[in-house]
Amino acid sequence: MAANQEQTTPVSTSVHSSSNGTCPSERCRYPHCDISPETVMCRSLLPAFNKLDVANSVKEAAAKLQTYDKVYKTEKIVSKTIFGTLRIAIQRKTGKHYAIKQFDKTLMKRKRTLCGVAVRENFDVEFKLMNWLRQHPHAGLIAASPENEQVEDLRHKYIVMPLASEGDLLSFIRNDNGKISEDTVRDIFLQLISALQHLHEKGGYIHGDVSPENILLSYDEAGNLRVRLCDYGLARKIGSRHYHAGKKSYMPPELFSNESRNAEPTSDIFSLAVVMFLLYYGIPPFTTAQQSDVYYESLEQKHHYSASSYSPWLLAWGVSKKRSKWALLPTVLSMLRRKPNKRPTLSSIKIIVEGWKQWY
């Protein structure tokens, strides 16, 4: 009897109403259920009741959620993302526009796309950094909107953020076609250096996916062009393990090797150089920074990352004489060096880019 009591006493809820003191459940295998019919719940039914409690609490939680449809109305789907969509939406109450990134919870859990492809994106880090940036903002890094503007529903998570009205740098480069002014390039360069310094030095993370698609454009109140990095799905804590991930055209050579390595700011510096080259010339410096790529190989073998021997090639590719002598070309080429430790640091690049005006 003592053993029986031990099995049943933790339960205090009164749910058992059998008048003859036996358990009403036909499938009950516990003869001890008759100990105290008014105060003891049959143990075999516990899991079911627990489940019911969980279901109720999920329902209650869902009722409390600020769900997407209650708060926002989709105006346009901008792009399909790995686990959902990126949409422009209007906040119903205020009529204000936002950019909202949607994540399917099931796919996030499986870490696979709808087609079953495994993904490297780490959404915990993306959410974490977006929220960290809300507390530690920087003009060059997109942050999540305030907590009371965030939404969630049973199937999806969302990141609500400010809308960058001019879209991303890739569309800008496509429209601009290599005609951007040197001043604008310098301005964008400095804004991105400052953004990466904040992320590396204050946040302790590398971005891991610096590319024109992840650089957003807008104008501030004074009409100046502002750039902001977005998409922290491939961000890595500095010093943690770094994988072969990102867009191949912007990936540094060390990420193509099979050697295990740690995440270092030098990889963002490499990707930033590719972006700046593409922005200024309208063409990429190479397809991928691999030995099989003749353009990247010749940068190392023929040109020694030197602007004077590289410029004739630019001319041969149809770049104008003036552009082939871009004052920031030596800096950009040095950022593309194969050996990560040979690349300049952000602070030394900043000094050069800031000082560039004084060379004339």
Compute the least distance from the CB of residue 151 to ligand ADP, in Å.
16
Can residue 299 be called a binding residue for ligand ADP (CB under 6 A)? no
Beta carbon nearer to ligand ADP, 231 or 254: 231
Which of 104, 85, 92 is closest to 66 using CA atoms? 92
Alpha helices, DSSP H, located in the chain:
2-8, 46-64, 68-71, 105-110, 123-135, 169-176, 182-197, 265-281, 294-301, 307-316, 321-324, 329-335, 346-355
In order, the DSSP letters of 271-300 are HHHHHHHHHHHSS-S-S-SSTT-HHHHHHH
Q: Which range, of 79-87, 186-194, 246-254, 275-283, touches ligand ADP by CB under 6 A?
A: 79-87
Q: Which range, of 133-141, 225-233, 271-279, 295-303, touches ligand ADP by CB under 6 A?
A: 225-233
Can residue 343 be called a binding residue for ligand ADP (CB under 6 A)? no
Compute the least distance from the CB of residue 227 to ligand ADP, in Å.
12
Distances (CA, A) of 89 to 73, 77, 133, 160, 167: 5, 9, 22, 9, 14
Q: Which residues fall within 8 angstroms of residue 144, CB to CB, at 6 or more apart?
A: 127, 130, 131, 133, 134, 150, 159, 160, 161
Q: Which residues bind Mg ion (CB under 5 A)?
A: 214, 231
Can residue 81 be called a binding residue for ligand ADP (CB under 6 A)? yes
Can residue 130 be called a binding residue for ligand ADP (CB under 6 A)? no
Compute the least distance from the CB of residue 233 to Mg ion, in Å.
7
Residue at 80: amino acid letter = K
Residue 192, Cβ density class (10 Å: 0-12 exposed, 13-18 middle, ≥19 buried): buried
Give the residue carrying structure tokens 């353009």: 295
What is the C-alpha to C-alpha distance for residues 174 and 86, in angstroms, rounded to an integer?
A: 21
User: Which residue in the set 230, 276, 299, 333 belongs to the binding site for ligand ADP (CB under 6 A)?
Assistant: 230
Residues 160-189 that bind ligand ADP (CB under 6 A): 161, 163-164, 167-168
Beta carbon nearer to Mg ion, 214 or 266: 214
Compute the least distance from the CB of residue 230 to ligand ADP, in Å.
5
Can residue 157 be called a binding residue for ligand ADP (CB under 6 A)? no
Residues 231-250 that bind ligand ADP (CB under 6 A): 231, 233
Binding residues vs ligand ADP (CB under 6 A): 78-79, 81-82, 86, 99, 101, 142, 161, 163-164, 167-168, 213-214, 216, 230-231, 233
